[in-house]
Structure 1
Amino acid sequence: MSIFADIQATFSRRDNALNQLLVINVLVFVVLLVVEAILTFTGAGVAYEVLMRQLALPSDLPGLLRHPWTLLTYAFTHQQFLHILFNMLNLYWFGMLVREYLGDRRLVSIYILGALAGALLFVLSYNLLPRLQVHLGIPMVGASAAVTAAIVAAATLLPDYTFSLFLIGPVRIKYIAAAVVLISIAGINGANPGGQIAHLGGALLGFVYIRQLQRGRDLGRPVVAAGEWISALLHGRPRLRVSHRSPQAAPAGSKRGPLAQPAQEEIDRILEKISRSGYESLSKEEKQKLFKASQQ
């Protein structure tokens, strides 16, 4: 199977959001790498700078008003290999956890909302903080704010989940997330203060998103609705006709909402399966149900 066929297969599935986010970031990086090489070789390097202005997030308000789409495009744009490498590795590791327990749509919601929160804090800091106003106009690229949102969301969701780190050993992800936040805070006094501030915006969004979800409020609903509208527009699908019906009464003791609780009998069956075959024998749906039950 060719590379193009693999890419097409990645986007043909609806339950493949993590891989789709990874592929989009990598494709943008590769295309920019090739375009930069061609334009530089042909002596048209200025055209590459014009292209980057269409993708990078400007820190000045006039520039943002001229390029409002950069509030999102910056989060899929990288120019350095190590930058995209570490971002994609973190997105894969922590995004897998979010996707496994909350599903594809909420992973995308966290990524998009994290990017927007990081962009908002980045622009506000350059326009309100005197120390940064002298550098007003510096643009930002990279998925770091969105990835930080996924890291903190995963740590808020499953604080005691353990990763085995090279040369360190098993570490609970709440400590990894805390280290990421502390490094960003320390980096505000460094060479890239705006980027570190954007990381903090993503971290705050990841924490608030999970806390609100646990209280029954899904902040990502507008993102999901916008995604469905764009998908229907691209694929020419007819809009669903909504019919209003009287809601049926829910069974006694049941809960509705983003984290509705499964029945106790079902949880007992899952726990029995864990004792018999181990946690890894659970399906994705069973792991989600077990997590939901832990929120009681």
Structure 2
Amino acid sequence: MNTIFDDFKNAFRRGDNGVVQLILINLIVYLVINFLLVISAISNNGNALSQFLLMNLALPAPVLSFLVKPWTLITYFFTHEGFWHILWNMLFLYWFGNLVKEYLGNRRFVNVYILGGISGGVLYLLMYNLVPYFVNNQPYLGLIGASGAVYAVVVAAATLIPNYTFNLLLIGPVRIVYIAAFYVVASFFGLAGGNAGGNLAHLGGAVIGFLFIRQLHRGTDLGRPITYLADKFNGLFQRKPKLRVTHNGKPTTRTRRATGTSGKPDQQEIDAILDKISHSGYESLTKEEKQKLFSASQNQRE
């Protein structure tokens, strides 16, 4: 048992392990919800415990309900109830997330996921409060699932490296731009179906995934606010390094923030590399170009 907990701790200690960390968070929430579902069932409480948790994690459609529970704009895209729902979301997150992480770095991958989830939630709220068709068909529970965030990652990967191919069972090699396009179109057609809210989140996430890469090519990182907030949050739990200095012959201890040079490649170089990936794929990069791209993603502190 200790080995399992050690594996979990090691997964979260690594700073470049965003794909696994996000999958684990989704998995933990899923297991807690379904554990409570079992406990409720055997204690003759129906599903009261799991429903109470879901109601406080799901994004409600009525805007007044959302204003009472604003945290749900974040928690909803870490929450799943059904097995197949979380399975497919986590598989797509793993497949496409590792691509985004490899090309843009861990931080930007996590930023795409979070921005995609928020964007999907915002579109869901807007449509269910402004468009009569959706207003008249508001779901009881609200919105749950990482699909919007995952769609952002999928579309970001397809926008960045459209010619990258996956070998699909019974089909063969398919470029990821076609895979992404298929799921986006299917989500649009599904707006009139039973999972309209989920499909709205898909489309909201897809839009932010596309815009994130396009703006990155123009030198604008849409994930800057997420990175800034994450740095501030992490700074609350980090001790400032202590330096021993000598003043008038007496050693004293002072605390200051450590600084250093980032050694980042020039932004124009990175833009040129990203353009090359977009047109010819990651495999076309030289070893030096891959090193520069990796260095830029690791040193990104915006």
- Is 128-137 or 179-188 further displaced after alignment? 128-137
Structure 1's 259 and 31: CA in aligned 2 closer, same or farther, altered over 3 A? same
- Corresponding residue to 1:50 among 32, 49, 52: 52
> How big is the alpha-carbon RMSD for the aligned residues of Structure 1 and Structure 2?
3.2
* C-alpha deviation, 1:54, in angstroms: 1.1
Please tell me whether residue 259 in structure 1 is matched to residue 260 in structure 2: no
Q: How far apart are the structure 1 equivalents of 2:288 and 2:226?
A: 27
Structure 2 counterpart SS, 1:259: helix
Residue-by-residue CA offset, 1:59-110 (whole Å, 9 max, x unaligned): 1111100110000100000000000000000000000110000000000100
Please tell me whether residue 120 in structure 1 is matched to residue 143 in structure 2: no
Q: How far apart are the structure 1 equivalents of 2:193 and 2:185?
A: 13
Residue-by-residue CA offset, 1:161-186 (whole Å, 9 max, x unaligned): 11111110000011001001011011
Q: Which amino acid aligns with 1:208?
A: L
Q: How far apart are the structure 1 equivalents of 2:192 and 2:121?
A: 19
Counterpart contact for 1:212–1:218, Cα < 8 Å: yes
Counterpart contact for 2:152–2:209, Cα < 8 Å: yes
2:248 alignment counterpart? none
Alignment of 1:168-207 (within 5 A): 168-207=171-210
1:132 alignment counterpart? 134
Structure 1's 146 and 107: CA in aligned 2 closer, same or farther, altered over 3 A? same
Q: TM-score, normalised by structure 1?
A: 0.83
Q: How far apart are the structure 2 equivalents of 1:178 and 1:236?
A: 43
Counterpart contact for 2:148–2:205, Cα < 8 Å: yes
* C-alpha deviation, 1:221, in angstroms: 0.7
2:16 alignment counterpart? 15
Please tell me whether residue 5 in structure 1 is matched to residue 6 in structure 2: yes
Gaps of 5+ in 1: 245-253, 268-273
* C-alpha deviation, 1:279, in angstroms: 7.1
- How many residues align? The count is 271
Counterpart contact for 1:101–1:284, Cα < 8 Å: no
Alignment of 1:84-163 (within 5 A): 84-136=86-138, 138=140, 139-163=142-166
Structure 1's 31 and 38: CA in aligned 2 closer, same or farther, altered over 3 A? same
Alignment of 1:30-69 (within 5 A): 30-44=31-45, 45-69=47-71
Residue-by-residue CA offset, 1:117-168 (whole Å, 9 max, x unaligned): 0000001111111111112354010000000000000000001011111110
Q: How far apart are the structure 2 equivalents of 1:259 and 1:162?
A: 23
Counterpart contact for 1:18–1:96, Cα < 8 Å: yes
Structure 1 counterpart SS, 2:222: coil
Q: How far apart are the structure 2 equivalents of 1:156 and 1:236?
A: 36
2:170 alignment counterpart? 167
Structure 2 counterpart SS, 1:164: strand
2:250 alignment counterpart? none
Q: How far apart are the structure 1 equivalents of 2:65 and 2:270?
A: 41
* C-alpha deviation, 1:285, in angstroms: 4.1
Structure 1's 241 and 70: CA in aligned 2 closer, same or farther, altered over 3 A? farther
1:250 alignment counterpart? none
Q: How far apart are the structure 2 equivalents of 1:126 and 1:64?
A: 12
Counterpart contact for 1:91–1:150, Cα < 8 Å: yes
Q: How far apart are the structure 1 equivalents of 2:21 and 2:293?
A: 22
Structure 1 counterpart SS, 2:192: coil
Alignment of 1:265-276 (within 5 A): none
Counterpart contact for 1:100–1:288, Cα < 8 Å: no
1:251 alignment counterpart? none
* C-alpha deviation, 1:232, in angstroms: 2.2
* C-alpha deviation, 1:286, in angstroms: 3.4
Structure 1's 137 and 62: CA in aligned 2 closer, same or farther, altered over 3 A? farther
Percent same amino acid at aligned positions? 44
Structure 1's 209 and 280: CA in aligned 2 closer, same or farther, altered over 3 A? closer
Gaps of 5+ in 2: 242-254, 260-264, 277-281, 298-302
